[in-house]
Each structure stands twice: as structure tokens, then as C-alpha cells.
């Protein structure tokens, strides 16, 4: 699962059972809700690449800071395990083997972002990396030099190919580390060079996109998030789903839904249909507060969702991936024929 809280007091929230149009207030994004590390990560992702359509973000440093994780993985309260996997793809399932074989420890990084849809998907890890050790281990496994995005990288085989007898398959990653660029501050990897290069942007990034920065500012300082355009254009241009940072492992999970509307009708549907009484929400949600956020000349609709103690920590992301969120918020959204929105791995 790739897959997502500031406590209620720290977030300044008083959640009610439902709020309608009259209860939605417009707020300017202030310094405490500018998207934190999420906005910073957008500065490394090309606006012309596949990240513009889909990305997942995780703040691994926060999970370690509150004691919910350490360098070896999740500790204590298992509620947050699914949230820690957001942005890691299948590497989270093979983390121990990946660390041993490649020197890449995903639980020691600071931030992670998985972006794009296959075959244009890749993974960007940010933190401090032992570059020589990682390059040595990858070279020992068979990687060869390759320049990507003007930087020295490593390659195992041709773009988007899978060597069924190769080391990555034996590790259990298929071709997720087929092309790799690693520096002392970031590691970007994917099946092909183009999506890897899209994670090395120095200009023309998503941080310059008014839509993405508005949605990221709406989400605020999150431990995990997903920003995605709907599979087919309807009433919402861009979605943002997030988990607010818990101050401690025992804190309640607070999800955030941000929707950048294309048509004004979405506002009424968002506040009247996205409520605790909705069938897909009633068993997992204690309350929802609606408001609007103004950022960069854009107005984004927001719902802040208090999850019940036994509810999924990343409920709203799971609903989006099952296409249930769009059908609830946007009645014009076409039905996904596959029954699910399939993200990049």
C-alpha cells in the first residue's frame, strides 16, 4: 500500500457532524499551512513530466521524530503502517532486502515521493545518502554508468525492460531500480530514464504550477499525501488527499480532502454529499469540517476529516484509489471501467 496529523488542538479544529454551504469559510493559506515539505518536493518534479498527473508524498522523518518508526521500519502503533508506505511503492514490502543488497534504506530518508503512472513512473527519495556505498553495491549487482538529466547515474538494462534473471527480480523489485541517479541529498529511480529525469528538475517544476501549489497549500503540513488529476476531466481539476501530522503515535488520524473545482456546482455537492452520513464514510468518520482555502489566486475546497480510532489512517486516499471519492464529490466524473484508479508503483 502506498500509499498517509497535528493533534486536533494543534490543528485548531472543532469538527462537527456536517457543515453545509453556509458553514464554509474562505481562508487565506497562512504560514502554518503552506504545504511544508510537500511544496518543497514539488520544486524537484518537472511540470511537464508524469508527476503532474499523479504523485504520492511521505514524510519519513516525521514518523521517526514521533517514535512511530526507526531506521528499521514501523514501531509500536500499527495504525500508521499504511501511511508510512505512501510514496514508497513496492520497495516498502522489500525494505530489508533492498537495504542489504543496495545500501538504500527507505526508513532512514527524510521525504519520499512516488510519481507518474506506469511506464512513466519513478521514485524520489530525499535525505542523506552514502553515495559511494550505494553506487558500489549497485555496480556489484551489475549496474553500468549512464548519464541522466545531466547527472551521472547507473543502469541495469534498457528502459522499461525487465531482466527476469537479473538482480532486481531476485530482490523482488522487478525494474523499479532499473535507472538510478544518486547524490548526497537525493536518489531518483525508475524503470526508464525519462521519468527519472523528471524527478531532477532544476527549473519548470510543479512548484511553479499554480494548481499544484494551491492544492499543496490547502493540504497543509502533512505526513503523507496524494495529489492527482482525475483519470478523465469532469468537475474537479485536481485532488489533494492528505494525513495531517500526528504529534504523537496515539493521536487521532485527521485526513484532509482538497478539490480544485472546474465548475461552481462542485462546491454545493462537495459540502452536501461529502458528509459523515455518506455510506462510504459513516463507519470510519467522526466528523467533517468544510472550508475554502485561497492560495496563489486559486480557491480550493477543503474538508477536514476526523477518523474514528478504529478507522483507516489514510481513509480518503483509499477511497480515491477505489474511485469512490470522485463519485461522491463529482457527479460528472465518469465511472472508472477498471473499478479503481491505478497509481504508479
The pLDDT > 70 percentage for the chain reads 86
* Residue 344 clears pLDDT 70, i.e. is over it: no
Q: How far apart are the first and last CA of the chain?
A: 10
pLDDT band, very low/low/confident/very high, at 32 (cuts 50, 70, 90): very low
| Whole-number Cα distances in Å, 25 to 98, 155, 170, 289, 299 | 47, 51, 53, 10, 11
pLDDT band, very low/low/confident/very high, at 9 (cuts 50, 70, 90): very low
In a 10 Å sphere around its CB, with 0-12 CB exposed, 13-18 middle and 19+ buried, how is residue 20 labelled? exposed
- Global confidence as pTM: 0.87
Answer whether 255's CB lies under 8 Å from 225's CB: no
* Residue 130 clears pLDDT 90, i.e. is over it: yes
Phi, psi dihedral angles at 147 (to 5 degrees)? -90, 130
The DSSP bridge partners found for residue 340 are none
Nine-digit cell at 8?
A: 486536533
pLDDT band, very low/low/confident/very high, at 92 (cuts 50, 70, 90): confident
Answer whether 98's CB lies under 8 Å from 125's CB: no
List Cβ neighbours of 9 (8 Å cut-off, separation of 6 or more). none
44 three-class SS: coil
Which helix (H) or strand (E) segment holds residue 236: the answer is strand 236-244
DSSP letters along 250-290, please?
TSPPEEEEEEEESSTHHHHHHHHHSSTTSTTTTTTEEEEEE
DSSP letters along 182-212, please?
E-SSEEEEESSHHHHHTTS-SSSBGGG-HHH
Nearest to 114 by CA among 95, 138, 90, 145: 90
* Residue 55 clears pLDDT 70, i.e. is over it: yes
pLDDT of residue 20: 37
Answer whether 239's CB lies under 8 Å from 255's CB: no
Phi, psi dihedral angles at 256 (to 5 degrees)? -130, 135
- Distance separating alpha carbons of residues 115 and 102, to the nearest angstrom: 21
Query: How do residues 247-285 score in pLDDT, each as one tens digit?
Result: 999 999 999 999 999 998 899 989 999 999 999 999 999
Answer whether 293's CB lies under 8 Å from 217's CB: yes
Query: How do residues 136-149 score in pLDDT, each as one tens digit?
Result: 999 999 999 999 99
Amino acid at each position: 500500500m502506498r500509499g498517509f496529523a497535528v493533534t486536533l488542538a494543534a490543528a485548531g479544529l472543532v469538527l462537527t457532524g456536517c457543515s453545509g454551504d453556509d458553514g464554509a469559510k474562505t481562508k487565506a493559506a497562512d504560514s502554518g499551512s503552506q504545504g511544508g515539505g510537500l511544496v518543497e518536493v514539488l520544486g524537484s518534479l518537472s511540470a511537464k513530466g508524469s508527476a503532474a498527473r499523479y504523485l504520492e508524498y511521505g514524510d519519513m522523518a516525521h514518523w521517526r521524530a514521533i517514535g512511530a518508526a526507526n531506521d528499521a521500519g514501523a514501531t509500536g502503533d500499527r495504525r500508521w503502517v499504511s501511511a508510512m508506505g505512501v510514496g514508497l511503492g513496492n520497495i516498502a514490502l522489500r525494505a530489508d532486502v533492498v537495504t542489504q543488497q543496495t545500501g538504500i534504506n527507505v526508513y532512514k530518508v527524510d521525504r519520499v515521493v512516488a510519481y507518474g503512472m506506469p511506464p512513466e513512473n519513478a521514485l524520489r527519495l530525499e535525505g542523506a545518502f552514502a553515495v559511494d556505498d550505494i553506487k558500489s553495491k549497485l555496480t556489484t549487482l551489475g549496474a553500468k554508468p549512464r548519464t541522466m538529466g545531466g547527472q551521472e547515474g547507473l543502469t541495469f538494462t534498457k528502459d522499461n525492460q525487465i531482466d527476469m534473471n537479473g538482480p532486481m527480480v531476485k530482490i523482488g523489485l522487478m525494474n523499479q531500480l532499473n535507472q538510478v541517479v544518486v547524490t548526497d541529498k537525493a536518489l531518483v529511480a525508475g524503470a526508464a530514464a525519462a521519468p527519472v529525469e523528471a524527478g531532477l528538475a532544476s527549473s519548470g517544476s510543479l512548484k511553479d504550477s499554480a494548481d499544484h501549489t494551491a492544492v499543496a497549500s490547502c493540504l497543509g503540513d502533512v505526513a503523507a499525501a496524494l495529489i492527482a488529476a482525475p483519470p478523465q476531466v469532469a468537475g474537479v481539476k485536481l485532488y489533494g488527499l492528505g494525513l495531517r501530522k500526528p504529534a504523537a503515535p496515539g493521536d487521532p488520524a485527521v485526513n484532509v480532502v482538497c478539490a480544485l473545482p472546474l465548475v461552481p456546482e462542485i462546491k454545493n455537492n462537495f459540502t452536501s454529499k461529502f458528509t459523515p452520513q455518506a455510506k462510504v464514510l459513516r463507519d470510519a468518520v467522526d466528523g467533517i469540517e468544510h472550508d475554502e482555502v485561497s492560495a496563489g489566486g486559486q480557491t480550493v475546497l477543503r474538508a477536514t476529516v476526523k477518523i474514528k480510532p478504529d478507522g483507516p489512517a489514510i481513509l480518503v486516499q483509499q477511497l480515491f484509489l477505489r474511485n469512490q471519492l470522485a463519485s461522491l464529490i463529482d457527479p460528472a466524473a465518469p465511472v472508472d471501467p477498471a473499478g479503481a484508479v491505478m497509481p504508479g508503483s
